[in-house]
Structure 1
Amino acid sequence: MSNASLQDFCNRIVAAGRITAADLATLSGELLPDGLVTRDEADLLIALDRAVAQPNAAFADFLVACVVDLAVWGERPTGYVNAETARWLAASIGAGTGPTATGARIAVEVVREAQSADETLIAFALAANGRTSPDEVPGTLLAA
């Protein structure tokens, strides 16, 4: 998959203002059949989540699963989120203004899935969790 194809897809979705079930099928079946392979791909989809006016629960689930898989199992050493990966992920999800509800879910699920995560990401996940209502972030780290 080329980043140009994924970028074209994202541009089309942003112009439409929403992600349909057909769009998600194209994304998961044609553009990213093996999930996310690079951080650039993850950054594009994280930005897409932020840019789309009408969130889609199925897209959020897809994005969370793909970013968790990339950050925890696609980066070396597998199962661990080191400081460099934690900084990248927190910056991408936060985008300078704080995470979306999906971004907060990503941070929480990466910390949960990893055998060990750098304190930068743990702190980010806890802070994101505190700014988002439990209804928005299923499986939050902090009990209500």
Structure 2
Amino acid sequence: MNQASAAKISLFGLETFDERRALIFSLARGGRDLLPADVRQLRRALFEDEGVNLDEAQALFDLERAQDAPCAEWTEFLVECLTDHVVWQSRPTGVVVDEQAEWLVQEVDRCRLPTGVALLANVLAEAHRAPGWLIAAVRARVAAPEVQAELARDD
């Protein structure tokens, strides 16, 4: 049985991995910014046991790009969930390898600026080891004038 059609028993009944992805896609197609209740629903569905796989992580990035002004809970959840995926669910644990880093930077560069920078910074903060080029890339993004302007706005 492949992962896409595998079913699992959860606190919320029998659900397939496809249903988890469908939840993410339905929220993205909803045409509205996420509310705290939406984030709680995602947290229950995705963090209940094994976290997210690569397809679900990709879908979360798509959902991020669909947002105009999501709630603060969304940004916190996205950073936590994707950091967990990149740093702790992948092997070797705690190590960000070149392939993951390339994927992450590519996806982050397509996201809203503050969320992407927060995600990259959090990944580096939690990882035991990461490619040197990733560290330099994060520093460059943090130093960018538009990021500095966004940070100054939040003060």
Q: Does 2:39 match 1:24? A: yes
Alignment of 1:67-86 (within 5 A): 67-86=82-101
Deviation by residue 1:34-59 (Cα, 9 ceiling, x = unmatched): 36321221111122112211221111
Distance in 2 (CA, whole Å) between partners of 1:90 and 1:68 is 13
- Aligned-pair distance for 1:66? 1.0
Q: Does 2:72 match 1:57? A: yes
Q: Does 2:137 match 1:124? A: yes
- Aligned-pair distance for 1:25? 1.4
Contact 1:72 1:79 in 2 (8 A): yes
Sequence identity percentage:
30
Computing the radius of gyration from Cα coordinates, the structure with the larger value is: 2
Q: Give structure 2 stretches of 5+ with no counterpart.
A: 1-15
Name the aligned partner's letter for residue 112 of structure 1: A
Runs of 4+ residues deviating >4 angstroms: none
Name the aligned partner's letter for residue 40 of structure 1: D
1:102 counterpart (92, 115, 133): 115
Q: Which secondary structure does the structure 2 equivalent of 1:135 belong to?
A: helix
Change in Cα spacing, 1:12 to 1:81, as seen in structure 2 (3 Å) is: closer
Point out the more displaced range, 10-19 or 60-69.
10-19
- Aligned-pair distance for 1:104? 0.9
Structure 2 counterpart of 1:142: none
- Aligned-pair distance for 1:11? 3.5
Name the aligned partner's letter for residue 123 of structure 1: A
Q: Which secondary structure does the structure 2 equivalent of 1:16 belong to?
A: coil
Distance in 1 (CA, whole Å) between partners of 2:45 and 2:32 is 21
Point out the more displaced range, 5-14 or 35-44.
5-14
Distance in 2 (CA, whole Å) between partners of 1:78 and 1:66 is 15
Point out the more displaced range, 70-79 or 30-39.
30-39
Q: Give structure 1 stretches of 5+ with no counterpart.
A: 139-144
Q: Which secondary structure does the structure 2 equivalent of 1:81 belong to?
A: coil
Structure 2 counterpart of 1:141: none
